[in-house]
Structure 1
Amino acid sequence: MGLFKVAPPVSRDELDWLVACFAWLRRVLDDEGRKIEAVLPGDPALAEATTASELFALVQQQCEMADWPCHLERIEDEQSRSDPAEVQLDSRPLGTFSYEGEGEGYVIRYSASLLRKPDNLVATFVHELSHYLLEGRGVPPGGPDLVEHATDCCAAYLGFGVFLANSARHFEQWTDGAWQGWRSSASGYLSEQALVTATALAAHLNAHDADAIEVQLKPYLQRDFRRASKAIARDYPALRDTMANIDLRGWNFA
């Protein structure tokens, strides 16, 4: 019967790392016993926002970081359109997080291009707030090279996995008068499949409505979510206990 087991959309090693990262997050954030609600596209509170600042404040509230001091800045950027037949690969950062001294304090910057894509802007805000949340918490499982990956994982852990997964890859056609072309962009550090799996882990851990989550994912990611959910339920039926008993020292964590 083992031949017919549903395989997760990521490798076994990556699934084990995601579980270990969730365990690490629960420990460093002191979240044992806390239930975190899922936040989905179309959320009424987020839909009320009419400016980036309002949306950021609502995301902060959902992350229970409303009273964390932070200055928001927009990065004005221009899309390069030098060749109308060119497929452009856009790898510029969509957001940044930094501490800039006593005068400025903590600053989160976001790309102005995201104002046309509110869900992608939410994903960027959550990723950068996750940097803020994890500052000074130590090194994640796997070591310092996986800090950004763990930050993506944290955003899914906080209930925003659908936003991260849906915004991880984007491919669009653009036109500007006589000029036209295709643009591909990527955001984040975890793959779409890893983000979907992290979303399934958060759903399993917090008893989220899996059906409500699935229909909000891009159609081609829905099957991956079902596969991840089935594999997690089968391999980690007592996920909370598994996470509580993981020896993080085996992941080079001290």
Structure 2
Amino acid sequence: MWPFGNNTLLDADTTAWQLGNFEWLLKVLPANNDFAATRLILPRPGFFDSHGLKGDDLAQSLFDQVKAYCGMVDWPVELISEGTAPKRSRDLIQVPDRNLGFSGTFATDGNAAIITYDPTLLDTPHDFITTMAHELAHYLLAAVPDERVCDDAHEEHLTDLTAVFLGFGVFLANSAFNFEQWRDEGLGASQGWSYKRSGYLSETELVFATALFLTLHGKDTAEAEASLKPHLAKQLRQAMKELGRSDLNNLRVLTRFQ
């Protein structure tokens, strides 16, 4: 019998997809990405330091810190600032729902990698860090020769899940959906609203994956809840309860907590 009830955060197929791919990640990732040593990275003081830098220097500093948390300090990669987001039109009243993915790209160049980013992300360092975690997850997966357990259509979803596996679940969940109301006096007091989706897994899916990360680490939700948007913190508590009723032995034996 499926261990979850009818009023669950995710449907049975989505839950099974997450558990199956998390198990695959535990089996195939390089030894230097030791899941047991992975921290939950939070948007709180003590995790990232801007060192008073700006522009490209700030981007490189934050990127290096993300690399360190991912266990990828020695992985060769060039970070490049590229492109900008579209300017807001004076006639804009509302922006329809758009899935913008991540404002970054990943590519390989011989034995090294190239990661690009939209420089406007530095206006919101949280989003820059989230984007870098996603792109580094691409890099990590590119080094895994084993056949994926998911199909090609879900490669980006697997990349999101990998970023959660690397400890960035709270960052991704908070960035997955953003609503903005704005007023621009410089454009004749134009005003309106916009919202965007970032990434590929939904907010709820990212919260569930974060709960799985915490459950396998044997941690409570207090720190994560304090850093999540309130409605996501509530979902996290529900996910932890659901996972507490499930059989995760096949995943637990693959961690190094045993």
**Given the superposition, is the C-alpha separation of residues 33 and 165 from structure 1 closer, same or farther in structure 2, using an over 3 Å criterion?**
closer
Q: State the Cα deviation string for residues 60-88 of structure 1 (Å, max 9, x = none).
A: 00111011111111233132415232325
Q: Is the 8 A contact 1:6 1:231 kept in 2?
A: no
Q: Is the 8 A contact 2:27 2:254 kept in 1?
A: no
Alignment correspondent of 1:61: 68
By how many angstroms is 1:114 displaced? Answer: 1.2
Distance in 2 separating the partners of 1:29 and 1:224: 28
From 117, 120, 128, the equivalent of 2:124 is: 117
Distance in 2 separating the partners of 1:6 and 1:224: 15
From 136, 159, 162, the equivalent of 2:167 is: 159
Structure 2 residue 223 is matched with structure 1 residue 212: yes
Q: Describe how 1:182-201 pairs up with structure 2 within 5 A.
A: 182-201=193-212
By how many angstroms is 1:42 displaced? Answer: 1.0
Moved more, 150-159 or 135-144: 135-144
Alignment correspondent of 1:98: 107
Q: Is the 8 A contact 1:36 1:206 kept in 2?
A: no
Distance in 2 separating the partners of 1:141 and 1:123: 24
Alignment correspondent of 1:251: none
Q: Is the 8 A contact 1:6 1:227 kept in 2?
A: no
Distance in 2 separating the partners of 1:100 and 1:26: 27
Q: State the Cα deviation string for residues 68-125 of structure 1 (Å, max 9, x = none).
A: 11111123313241523232545444111112457xx411111122111111111100
- The SS at the match of 2:37 is coil
Distance in 2 separating the partners of 1:216 and 1:100: 37
Alignment correspondent of 1:226: 237
Alignment correspondent of 1:129: 136
- Equivalent pairs, count: 240
Alignment correspondent of 1:40: 42
Q: State the Cα deviation string for residues 25-47 of structure 1 (Å, max 9, x = none).
A: 01111557733211111141413
Q: State the Cα deviation string for residues 185-226 of structure 1 (Å, max 9, x = none).
A: 111110100000000000011123411111211111111111
Distance in 2 separating the partners of 1:135 and 1:146: 15
Runs of 4 or more, structure 1, over 6 Å off, are: none
Alignment correspondent of 1:14: 14
By how many angstroms is 1:54 displaced? Answer: 0.6
**Given the superposition, is the C-alpha separation of residues 210 and 86 from structure 1 closer, same or farther in structure 2, using an over 3 Å criterion?**
closer
Q: Describe how 1:160-179 pairs up with structure 2 within 5 A.
A: 160-176=168-184, 177=186, 178=188, 179=190
Gaps of 5+ in 2: none
Q: Is the 8 A contact 1:20 1:243 kept in 2?
A: no
RMSD: 2.5
- The SS at the match of 1:79 is coil
| Counterpart AA for 1:96 | T
Distance in 2 separating the partners of 1:68 and 1:167: 26
Q: Is the 8 A contact 2:35 2:166 kept in 1?
A: no
Alignment correspondent of 2:115: 108
Alignment correspondent of 1:247: none
Q: TM-score, normalised by structure 2?
A: 0.84
Q: TM-score, normalised by structure 1?
A: 0.85
Structure 2 residue 92 is matched with structure 1 residue 84: yes
